[in-house]
A and B are shown apart, each in its own frame.
Chain A
Amino acid sequence: MSERGQKLPSDVRVGVYVCHCGVNIAAVVDVRQVAQLARGLPGVVVARDYNYMCSDPGQELIRQDIRDYALNRIVVASCSPHLHEETFRHAAAAGGLNPYLVHMVNIREHVSWVHPDRERATEKACELVRAAVRRVVWHEPLEQARVSIHPDVLVVGGGIAGIHAALTLANAGKRVYLVERQPSIGGHMAMFDKTFPTLDCAACILTPKMSAVQAHPNITLWTLAEVTRVEGYVGNYEVEITRWPRYVREDLCSGCLKCIEACVYKDARFPDEFNLGLSKRKPIYLPFPQAVPQVPVIDPATCIQFKSGKCKKTCVEACGERGAIDLQAVPKVERVRVGSVILATGFQTFDPRRMPEYGYGIYPNVYTSLEVERLVNASGPTGGEIVLRDGRRPQSVGIIHCVGSRDRRHNPWCSRVCCMYSLKLAHLIRERTGAEVFNFYIDMRTPGKGFEEFYQRLLEEGVHFIRGRVAGVSDWALDPSEEGKLVLRVEDTLLGIVRRIPVDMVVLAVGLEPRSDAEELRRLFRVSCSAEGFFLERHPKLAPVSTFAEGVFVAGCCQGPKDIPDTVAQAGAAAAEALALIDRGSIEQEPNTAYVLADHCSACRTCVSLCPYSAISIVGGDGRPHAEINPALCKGCGTCVAACPSGSIRQHLFEDEQIVAEIEGILAGVAGG
């Protein structure tokens, strides 16, 4: 059977199990026929079809058959091995069989869900099962290798997700490195005044957590820092973090802020990033009053000393003996070893300049929701007063929902939080200014605890709701009542008429999207992204915070739009997954490593340079030199196996015989064998 002259193992006894998956498979694939075909295949002792193979009785079926029929090979035709390979390996092991004598056939994702034609789907399923039976014959019992898990954890991103995950781990006694790119942790939540639906003060719930991070003996916090290199695998990641200089030393600064006062710029002159340019800052500044760490930062792009070298350095003078200001600081590279990683890098908001019809950047009184979050914030640029750029108080405000979201031209997804934060902003604006507020919505989405009740409350507060997608915003007045106003044109789909609503202020409820640099992080950590660019979870329901890179977990809006309660829940789940990994101490590794048949190897070294992990070396220099593969370093890609000129490198679980048998099985019908 095999070209390699290997003898077919004798007394092979295969059991084949074809799953109905309820109707998921059985509605399309004729599972009886597949089982019947299997029964006729060489080596098959028993073949069954069953409603749910992954259920307890389904697994018991396998265990029982192993005993009753002395099975020594198992084929399960059901869903993707990514979903249930472990399940069936465990079932086999529970029946006393080595787990690697099991092979799975994917007749759900790869057959019944994608091929509606019953006859052809059944044909494909039959061929895949035949291939699997031929393959499994060549399987051998394997020992599981174990790798130990380094107990330290890296958390990337210091928004509420990263903060919560880091604290959970640190409180459990684990050492955490928290890496944040901005000069302060806090993320988007630090920008809000109140949070829906309870309207509790964001700072009151966030600030204590931020301080706790700073104070926690188990957390090493690096702000102005980024991950620049990642090596290794689950249990043993080596990560390089670059810390950009703050030019004020965190270890020496007391947070007195005298340096800011003393800056040669008497007035703040430069757009303040945290306030989205709604206020000004000096070249040396504290990002916001509750910033953690409470240490000013110098922006070299605007500081005279960095631009011309001719500043009087009054900040250095003001700091005096402390000497915390270090204008010579250079980037610093830290290298840490961790066993697991939590990615919590959050989101960015949709840039409404991409929809010029809404006039953002054209009319000064068109704002994004994030800007309005700053305007209503008591510690924001206006001290919480809602005033327009020209200093007027708005008498009427229009809030446009779904900007950039649920839009085929931009982002097709619903951003999940915009309806709710629009309601929140409507409430706050009305409360603080008494203005007439109009919400323009497509559908009102309030699925959360207390959300619908909040909507009802707004209706009672006299906020107006107009159902329709706004066509455009302009300052063209058609009659005197529109003079000096921004006019929103909208088809009111409940009244069935086109309306023009003049207002003083327009708020764009911009959607949530993946950060533009998520791609770089994705590559560094070798995780996947879903089509829209959010990090992809291993399974949407069963492994929502795991990724396809083992030991790397995701939390918060980097995985998809969500509100703070969901973000925190997910961050807790990610921390729990990391803890579970650490407390196990070690995990089994897929034993799919490559190995060398020393007698056949001519030590040609082709493989040595191919291995990305330097797992291959030439040994036996004095006698017969040959290649040797360190199984602890081999990750099982099989590249060296395919490249070995003499065929003397082989791979467990992906032996040539197994793959060739699979190919033969697929094509057996064609070639008549």
Chain B
Amino acid sequence: MKQLADNRAESSNGFEPKIVGFFCNWCTYLAADLAGTSRLHYAPNVRVVRVMCSGRVDPQFVLEAFAKGADGVLIGGCHPGDCHYQEGNYKALRRYVLLRRLLEQLGVEPGRFRLEWISASEGERLRAVINEMVEQVRALGPFRGFNRLPVKLAQLHGQKECSKEPASVETVEL
């Protein structure tokens, strides 16, 4: 982990953030398709993983992305009330709030992790969100790894849906 951080610090000149996007199939993924058909140009830093609904985004995926070297994670779902599956996006929101706090404790700055509602017609908004986030993460610099390691990710799994303080997750200082 240390080594990775060092390697990347070296190359932080002209740093291009790498952001993993989890976009729901029915709104945000389509917004990205629309941005394409409308030829809206935006920063090429986001790599999209398509999921059926933002509710499918397991906190584990987000941790995994940061652990594997992502500089940011963007979850995109339908606007409240618009989820193709009624309320998957509310579940996503609930998890996002918890996960953001946990990530902060692990040394992930808030600007690196975002949840955005972008509907199928909002190609322009997709472009704006991506450009803005890329700039934000660029300013933060490369992600240098968790400052503490969530040793028992499996345990975290057990707490995803309860409202207990995520602070109780075991971590170790690196």
Contact = CB atoms under 8 A, between A and B. Distances in A.
B84 A637 contact: yes
Interface in B12-42: 16, 18, 20, 26-27, 29-30, 32-33, 35-37, 39-42
B166 interface: no
Given A612-B87, A637-B84, A110 B48 contact: yes
A606 B158 CA distance: 11
Given A536-B120, A637-B53, A659-B61, A127 B47 contact: yes
Prevailing SS type, chain B contact patch:
mixed
A3 B55 contact: no
Contacts of B60: 656, 660
Given A109-B37, A111-B44, A638-B53, A670 B88 contact: no
B57 A642 contact: yes
Interface string B68-106: 111000000000011011111001000100000000000
A671 B49 contact: no
A496 interface: no
A82 B29 CA distance: 10
Contacts of B49: 131, 659, 662-663, 666
B33 A109 contact: yes
A217 to B, nearest CB: 37
Contact of A109 (B27, B35, B95): B35
Contacts of A111: 44
A271 interface: no
B10 to A, nearest CB: 13
Given A528-B30, A606-B161, A654-B52, A670 B64 contact: no
B36 A664 contact: no
A442 interface: no
B6 interface: no
B121 A536 contact: yes
B157 A637 contact: no
A672 B8 CA distance: 11
A663 B120 contact: no
Contacts of A642: 55-59, 91, 95, 160
A456 interface: no
Interface stretch (A115-123, A419-427, A469-477): A115-123
Interface in A75-133: 80-82, 106, 108-111, 113-117, 120-121, 123-124, 127-128, 131
Contacts, number: 162
Max chain B CB contacts within 10 Å: which of A123, A531, A647, A662?
A531
A548 B26 contact: yes
A134 to B, nearest CB: 12
Contact of A612 (B41, B85, B95): B85
A111 B48 CA distance: 11
Contacts of B154: 647
Contacts of B149: none
Given A109-B32, A531-B121, A636 B52 contact: yes
A643 interface: yes
A558 to B, nearest CB: 15
Interface string A205-236: 00000000000000000000000000000000
Interface string A51-67: 00000000000000000
A523 interface: yes
Contacts of B109: none
A348 B47 CA distance: 41
Nearest to B38: A113
B58 A641 contact: yes
A105 to B, nearest CB: 10
Contacts of A121: 44
Contacts of A529: 121
Contacts of B26: 528, 548
Contacts of A610: 91, 161
Given A82-B30, A114-B39, A531-B121, A664 B68 contact: yes
Contacts of A120: 16, 44
B106 to A, nearest CB: 17
A637 B68 contact: no
Interface string A509-528: 00000000000000100101
Contacts of A612: 85-88
Nearest to A610: B91
Nearest to A531: B121
A249 interface: no
A116 B159 CA distance: 44
B56 A663 contact: no
A528 B36 contact: no
Contacts of A80: 33, 36
B40 to A, nearest CB: 6
Given A536-B120, A671-B68, A639 B36 contact: no
Interface string A628-647: 00000001111101110111
Contacts of B42: 114-115
A656 B55 CA distance: 14
A592 interface: yes
Interface string A551-563: 0000000000000
B122 interface: yes
B129 interface: no
B151 interface: no
B44 A670 contact: no
Contacts of B29: 82
A131 B154 CA distance: 24
B36 A667 contact: no
Contacts of B50: 81
Given A82-B33, A637-B56, A531 B122 contact: yes
A643 B61 contact: no
A651 interface: yes
A638 B51 contact: yes
A645 B160 contact: yes
Contact of B47 (A131, A671, A672): A131
Q: Which of B8, B32, B44, B85 has the most CB of A within 10 A?
A: B44
A660 B120 contact: no
A481 interface: no
A392 B89 CA distance: 61
A120 B51 CA distance: 25
A10 interface: no
A530 interface: yes
Contacts of A637: 52-53, 55-56, 84-85, 88
Given A641-B56, A670-B68, A671-B4, A647 B157 contact: yes
B161 to A, nearest CB: 5
A610 B86 CA distance: 11
A505 B75 CA distance: 56
A114 B157 contact: no
Question: By CB atoms of chain B within 10 A, which of A121, A638, A641 has the most?
Answer: A638
A643 B85 CA distance: 15
A283 to B, nearest CB: 38
A631 to B, nearest CB: 15
Contacts of B52: 592, 636-638, 654
- Interface pairs A-B: 3 shortest CB-CB: A109-B36, A638-B56, A639-B55
Given A124-B44, A641-B58, A667-B69, 17 more contacts: A114-B127, A115-B42, A128-B47, A526-B84, A528-B26, A548-B30, A610-B161, A612-B88, A637-B85, A638-B51, A642-B160, A643-B160, A643-B161, A646-B158, A666-B20, A667-B68, A670-B70
25 contacts: A80-B33, A80-B36, A81-B50, A106-B48, A109-B32, A109-B35, A113-B39, A528-B119, A528-B120, A528-B121, A536-B121, A548-B30, A548-B120, A612-B85, A635-B85, A637-B52, A637-B53, A637-B56, A637-B85, A637-B88, A642-B56, A642-B57, A642-B59, A645-B157, A663-B49
